[in-house]
Structure 1
């Protein structure tokens, strides 16, 4: 069955899923089989156990309100990374401003800082492409990792 996580309380490990059938199902953290974890708004695929609770819960890749596409992030890093555009796309505004400021100031300083920002962006381009969709989501979207 498919559904959407309405709420998940990490403190007690309990949550509620709204099934596509219109009913609500309780689940515990141990029922989540995906490493993406349980976040509100995330689309899930789940089974019902004999007691009527949700079990065998798998998050759908790219679900939720804050989901980002790793290919888009990688292409932005490759073509416009020296300006930090991929950081803004991923919601890492502070890192984006740092890359943008260093790159623009670097243009008047013989270009060395700009080259360094371009190199960092190229490394991130490679990292984004080599990670699985699930790992990219967990590390750069949910984990809020800004650098490498």
Structure 2
């Protein structure tokens, strides 16, 4: 059966799907298939209905649900052009990492320009990583997950 995710709480791993038959089905993180560990509301899914619960859930439109949160292209461009200031970290909600990059990129010049050079290399590596990752993996690692570096 096909449906659309209405809600999902990543903290406890539970959610609700509205099926094409007009019924609502609950699900847990363990019911997600295809290597997906998290979904966001609005994603189209294919699932099996079993006693009011959705089982064997597979995302059928990864881009429609992932584009509403944080865009990997925007994050990559921020990393490339403003990476030494950590702006891409702030965009992704990683404030501590952003502050570290901002401090190293601005006042780090006092230490013979080594911290800004290191931060510049890190930002460039992250620029490449953001572009290479799939939308689903980017969303899982940097939006839903707590990954701040690489």
Contact 1:6 1:17 in 2 (8 A): yes
In 2, distance between residues paired with 1:108 and 1:117? 14
- In angstroms, what is the RMSD of aligned CA positions? 2.9
Following superposition, the deviation at residue 108 of structure 1 comes to 4.1
In 1, distance between residues paired with 2:11 and 2:105? 40
User: Is the partner of 1:41 in helix, strand or coil?
Assistant: coil
- Residue 56 of structure 1: aligned partner: 56
Say if 1:40 and 1:146 are closer, same or farther in 2 by CA, change over 3 A: same
Does 2:99 correspond to 1:97? yes
In 2, distance between residues paired with 1:69 and 1:7? 20
User: Is the partner of 1:37 in helix, strand or coil?
Assistant: coil
- Residue 142 of structure 1: aligned partner: 144
Contact 2:25 2:49 in 1 (8 A): no
Aligned residues: 147
- Residue 37 of structure 1: aligned partner: 37
Following superposition, the deviation at residue 147 of structure 1 comes to 0.7
In 2, distance between residues paired with 1:99 and 1:89? 13
**Unaligned stretches of 5+ residues in structure 2:** none
